[in-house]
Structure 1
Amino acid sequence: MAASKTAARPGSLKKYREKRDFAQTPEPSGRKERGPKSRERFRFVVQKHRATRLHYDFRLEADGVLASWAVPKGPTLVPLDRRLAMHVEDHPMDYRDFEGNIPAGQYGAGSVIVWDRGTYSLAEGDDPAREIAHGKIKFVLYGKKLQGEFTLVKIKAREDEHGEPWLLLKDRDEHSDPKYDPAEHPESVKSGKTLEDIARNPRAPTWQSKRVAKSAPRAGRSKAKRDPIPHPKNLMLATLVDEPFDDPEWLFEIKWDGYRALCTIEDSRLTVVSRNGLDMLVRFPELRELRSAFASLPVVVDGEIVSLDAKGRSAFQRLQESQKKTAGLTYAAFDLLYADGADMRSKPLEERKALLERLIRDTDLVLYSKHVVEKGAALFEQARDQRLEGIIGKRRSSAYQERRSRDWVKIKTGHEQEFVVGGWTEPKGSRKGFGALLLGVYEKRGLRFVGSVGTGFNAKLLRELSSRLSRTERKSSPFVNPVVARAPVHWSSPELVVEVRFSEWTRDGYLRQPAYLGLRPDKPAKDVVAEVPVHVEP
């Protein structure tokens, strides 16, 4: 289908702001986002909107704004079915999270839900704004309801028609569905609510709009009555158990392989702190974008800094290049300690997670850690098949406890854990730096030697670790038991923590076939003990 003459290039919020009184409407005033105009994935949202007439607002990220079309009959998966789409004013990127009631007398008055959202890629071209300006854009949607290739094309307006008409078409592919009807899928992908649910609520939920969240706290909780923001000294930790299990009182998540970190946003001040108090913003400055990742402030979130591979799996070794920007950096959020003026730590875990999911904005930086209820054994098998580290089981009713607890358990698919470095051996042959690291774990008597690791290092790692070890060298052994080594030994203060993979523990408590995985600057050395699984009775 040939496109009509060119359209206006997206990128201005002037018309959007002129039509709205932000003292009256909960819609975000927003601003244009800055970033590369050309990249592999962009964001999209479809909002179901009951205004004067029911319609669907179809929005594509383009040049820092949401290029927008009103689609009266809604999008479809029926191949080549033409849907009228009236091009309307650009909206701010913040609008992709908006759900609520626009008051009577305001532009677009009525109820709005997030009907679908996700990312999209261009099927043709590399700049969405340029394609739209040319009057035609072909793209592939990766949403929760809408999948596959679509086309938006500008058409000539009828003489009696006002506005800028386009057509939205579903291209024929494996996602086509000739029986698809959007009316059969009425619920929000953000909150699970329908338009009727939103309309019955006289106020938009406070977490749906960042502006509203700041100015209109939850009913019954005035600013003076807000709970103090918690600053826990310790995080809740899981107990290692021997096997997966099924139990309806438990939920199960994938075990993330990264750096555990507590994210606190208070009075526009962001902190991201590891278990031992390290400022993770120094190592990962891109995490500063977390300031705008949650729809209600202040907030305290527990999660893990991970780097995802092409299959969405967390890969700890990808985080080791501390001086370089880490590709695919993500904050996997799995618990909520404070939100909307309330200390959430005494609330049941399931309640905390439900609110956390609603608070997370549509962003690539934060990933909500999903879970399954009861079926721990099946999730463990999936984790093992995908070569993941393991799973975490959590009692659904559990409160947040600042200690290691039996209410959270971890089941690993292999043997990996942290060890304290207490020395090193001299290298042999052409090898530079060191031969092996001497490893230990803490027991009641002190640091016990459990073996040495000499594999898993490249030349760069050997140089970097040698430099660090030389600064901690000491004359006496930090271990309480004898050390068996095949080369001359140098001792070091027990400060450095490393992660090691191994095949098993021997009967006398030593490591078999250890291999180095990486440094663990987030783990306090004194907390490193031998992780021996226990049997859990759910």
Structure 2
Amino acid sequence: MFIDPMLLATAPGPFSDSRYIYEPKIDGHRLLFSQEDARIRLYTRHEVECTNQYPELLAPFDDDILLDGEVACTDPVTGGVDFESVMSRFQTKQDQRIQQLATMSPVTYVVFDILRYKGMDVRKLPLMQRKEILAGISIPNQYFGVIPFVEGAGEALFEQMVSRKLEGMVGKRKNSLYVSRRSPAWQKVINWSYTDVIITGYRKDEFGWLAAVPDESGQLRPAGIVEYVTQAARKEFYSKSRSLKTGEDKKFVYLNPTIRGRVKFRNWYKSGMLRTPVFTEFIL
């Protein structure tokens, strides 16, 4: 069984409120675990079935159940959450390779909510009651875990997330019901990183600025494409860039690298590219 998941609103910043609990935000991908009539199926938030990709999670619970959580991988060297590894796991389709990766790079399914249990729909119970039910269930193997939470102390938890270089936190109203839409009862606060970039061009068709950063020798190297830009910044950019064009090809217009800006982003990919860069301001 698939149910559209409850989605997060974005909080303007870390906050503390006794009406909320606060959880670490796990840097993986959303996963719904469905066990119905003893058959297990795994789904992404967009109802893409990915049961075959995670054989280590195909362990049955004592009763039929529908869980919501995040599936993630841990970097064996740093001990940190490794988003690229879980994406590699998700995209692998060949059976033998899936089995290899399940041994070499196993996932953890971090459960944060329960939607159905023993044939009952529990989404209309307040969050704290659902948490009590979840806490009382035996997990089937070491690849499952239940998310920890703290009550009220959101700002203190966020400071921990920043110091440990984790993705951020989620604040949830204690009395929130589970609804299949984006809701202000659940709010995320992302632990963004910031860096300065130089805009070296732009895409012709789909919007995007080519971003570059200096390498160790001071030479510019590509750092990805910035797609999240306000309309006001786009307008200012095009007025600045008209006189800077140095060439073009089928996909891109290239510019004299003089326009500098600041972006916020999730982290650096191992390839040296920015993950999800969001433009914040031009630098004069």
Alignment length, in residue pairs?
A: 224
Structure 2 residue corresponding to 1:451, chosen from 209, 212, 227:
209
Aligned residue number for residue 133 of structure 2: 355
Aligned residue number for residue 231 of structure 1: 2
CA deviation after TM superposition for structure 1 residue 267, in Å: 1.2
Please tell me whether the aligned partners of residues 306 and 314 of structure 1 are also in contact (alpha carbons under 8 angstroms): yes
CA deviation after TM superposition for structure 1 residue 396, in Å: 0.6
Instruction: Please say if 1:307 is aligned against 2:85.
Output: no
After TM superposition, the runs of 4+ consecutive aligned structure 1 residues lying more than 6 A away are 480-487, 512-515
Aligned residue number for residue 64 of structure 2: 298
Structure 2 residue corresponding to 1:281, chosen from 51, 55, 61:
51
Q: Map of 1:34-433 to 2, 5 A cutoff?
A: 231-232=2-3, 234-288=4-58, 291-292=59-60, 294-295=61-62, 297-310=63-76, 313-322=80-89, 323=92, 324=97, 325-326=101-102, 327-361=105-139, 363-415=141-193
Instruction: Give the residue type in structure 1 aligned to 2:84.
Output: Q
Please tell me whether the aligned partners of residues 201 and 209 of structure 2 are also in contact (alpha carbons under 8 angstroms): no
Say which SS state the counterpart of residue 321 (structure 1) adopts. helix
Which segments of 5 or more consecutive residues in structure 1 lack a partner in the other structure? 1-229, 417-434, 441-446, 456-479, 493-504, 519-527, 533-538
Please tell me whether the aligned partners of residues 438 and 453 of structure 1 are also in contact (alpha carbons under 8 angstroms): no
1:277 & 1:328 partners in 2: Cα distance?
A: 22
Please tell me whether the aligned partners of residues 263 and 279 of structure 2 are also in contact (alpha carbons under 8 angstroms): no
Identity across matched positions, percent: 26
1:273 & 1:531 partners in 2: Cα distance?
A: 32
TM-score normalized with structure 2 length: 0.66
Note closer, same or farther for the CA distance 1:245–1:439 as it changes in structure 2 (3 Å cut): farther
Instruction: Give the residue type in structure 2 aligned to 1:451.
Output: W
1:251 & 1:259 partners in 2: Cα distance?
A: 21
CA deviation after TM superposition for structure 1 residue 279, in Å: 2.0
Cα shift readout 1:81-138 (whole Å, capped 9, x = no counterpart) = xxxxxxxxxxxxxxxxxxxxxxxxxxxxxxxxxxxxxxxxxxxxxxxxxxxxxxxxxx
Cα shift readout 1:433-483 (whole Å, capped 9, x = no counterpart) = xx999599xxxxxx6x2423568xxxxxxxxxxxxxxxxxxxxxxxx9998
Please tell me whether the aligned partners of residues 167 and 190 of structure 2 are also in contact (alpha carbons under 8 angstroms): yes
Note closer, same or farther for the CA distance 1:513–1:329 as it changes in structure 2 (3 Å cut): closer
2:40 & 2:22 partners in 1: Cα distance?
A: 29
CA deviation after TM superposition for structure 1 residue 355, in Å: 0.9
Say which SS state the counterpart of residue 353 (structure 1) adopts. helix
Note closer, same or farther for the CA distance 1:394–1:313 as it changes in structure 2 (3 Å cut): farther
Note closer, same or farther for the CA distance 1:264–1:246 as it changes in structure 2 (3 Å cut): same
Please tell me whether the aligned partners of residues 254 and 371 of structure 1 are also in contact (alpha carbons under 8 angstroms): yes
CA deviation after TM superposition for structure 1 residue 512, in Å: 6.6
CA RMSD of aligned residues (A): 3.7
1:269 & 1:340 partners in 2: Cα distance?
A: 14
Cα shift readout 1:180-219 (whole Å, capped 9, x = no counterpart) = xxxxxxxxxxxxxxxxxxxxxxxxxxxxxxxxxxxxxxxx
Please tell me whether the aligned partners of residues 114 and 130 of structure 2 are also in contact (alpha carbons under 8 angstroms): yes
Please tell me whether the aligned partners of residues 239 and 404 of structure 1 are also in contact (alpha carbons under 8 angstroms): yes
Say which SS state the counterpart of residue 380 (structure 1) adopts. helix
Please tell me whether the aligned partners of residues 253 and 370 of structure 1 are also in contact (alpha carbons under 8 angstroms): yes
2:180 & 2:107 partners in 1: Cα distance?
A: 26
| Greater radius of gyration (CA) | 1
2:186 & 2:180 partners in 1: Cα distance?
A: 12
1:278 & 1:269 partners in 2: Cα distance?
A: 17
Is the deviation greater in 308-317 or in 380-389? 308-317
Please tell me whether the aligned partners of residues 360 and 366 of structure 1 are also in contact (alpha carbons under 8 angstroms): no
Cα shift readout 1:392-449 (whole Å, capped 9, x = no counterpart) = 0000100011111100001111159xxxxxxxxxxxxxxxxxx999599xxxxxx6x2
